[in-house]
Amino acid sequence: MESEVLKIENFSAGFGKCFVLKDINFSVQQNKITAIMGPSGCGKTTLIRCINRMHEFSPGAVYSGRILLHGEDIYSINPIIVRRKIGMVFQRPNPFPTMSIYDNVLSGFILNGIRLKKEEKDQIVFNALQKSGLWEEVKDNLHRRGTFLSGGQQQRLCIARALAMNPDILLLDEPTSSLDPKSTLLIEQLMEELKQSITILIVTHNIAQAARISDYVAFLYLGELIEFGPSKKIFTAPENKKTEEYLTGKFG
């Protein structure tokens, strides 16, 4: 029995009078990977920035409708709490350059002024790096800067940083677009493992990647949700002609 962790209801968002997203409706199931796909400029990143409550930082940002996390509207919750429950990993790896690997993992606590005992810190760092598949690679270099790691390792460090806060949902905005094929495969395998304990929403341009790892697909086009459903169905028998054209490479 699947259970719904996030529900997007009649949601629109944009800047000033220009709406980038128009009346989006779909639900995200717990412990599943939902891929958000569509050509450039269709509103994918705006959507996950709204789910993480980062969109409102942009000048002129507007939105309407509701996004419910476990039935509660995220816009009625303190945004700091929302960002603890909904972690975010960006397109380019962005470890804090002046911080060690250890402090990078703990940065959510450090920046929020949450005090922890040394044993608690050690445990959180170990758990997060273990979950992100990085522990064995960095355990002897925890106090070196995160920037000395390779691109793929830096991205897994950013995933560890998000996991350290123990979120319900992890948002990934094209997390492998700047990585080589081997690092990409490691991140994909990692997502498969992580979905046992966390719900994942991934924005991806990579159709093959979405087919490999996602359980559900939301296909956006010009700010509208054209089709949403189980990945198997969408990749084998899409209902909408636009979806089919996108998946067969007619545009994108």
Nearest to 162 by CA among 185, 131, 186, 138: 131
Q: Express as a percent the part of the chain with pLDDT over 70.
A: 99
pLDDT at 61 over 90: yes
Q: What is the CATH number of the domain that holds 177?
A: 3.40.50.300
**Mean pLDDT of the residues in the chain:** 95
In a domain, 87, yes or no: yes
Q: Cβ neighbours of residue 161 under 8 Å, at least 6 residues apart?
A: 95, 104, 105, 107, 108, 128
In a domain, 252, yes or no: no
Average pLDDT over residues 53-80: 95
pLDDT at 2 over 80: no
β-pairing verdict for 72-73 and 61-69: antiparallel
pTM of the model: 0.94
Q: What is the pLDDT of residue 1?
A: 65
Q: Does the CA dihedral 89-170-26-70 come out positive or negative?
A: negative
Average pLDDT over residues 173-188: 93
Q: What is the pLDDT of residue 112?
A: 84
**pLDDT tens digits for 125-139?**
999 999 999 999 999
pLDDT at 57 over 80: yes
In a domain, 186, yes or no: yes
**Which range marks the domain in which residue 104 is found?**
4-247
pLDDT at 213 over 70: yes
Question: How many domains does the chain contain in total?
Answer: 1
β-pairing verdict for 18-29 and 4-15: antiparallel
3-state secondary structure the chain: CCCEEEEEEEEEEEECCEEEEEEEEEEEECCCEEEEECCCCCCHHHHHHHHCCCHHHCCCEEEEEEEEECCEEHHHCCHHHHHHHEEEECCCCCCCCCCEHHHHHHHHHHHCCCCCCHHHHHHHHHHHHHHCCCHHHHCCCCCCEHHHCCHHHHHHHHHHHHHHCCCCEEEEECCCCCCCHHHHHHHHHHHHHHCCCCEEEEECCCHHHHHHHCCEEEEEECCEEEEEEEHHHHHHCCCCHHHHHHHCCCCC
Q: How would residue 176 be classed by pLDDT, with cut points 50, 70 and 90?
A: very high
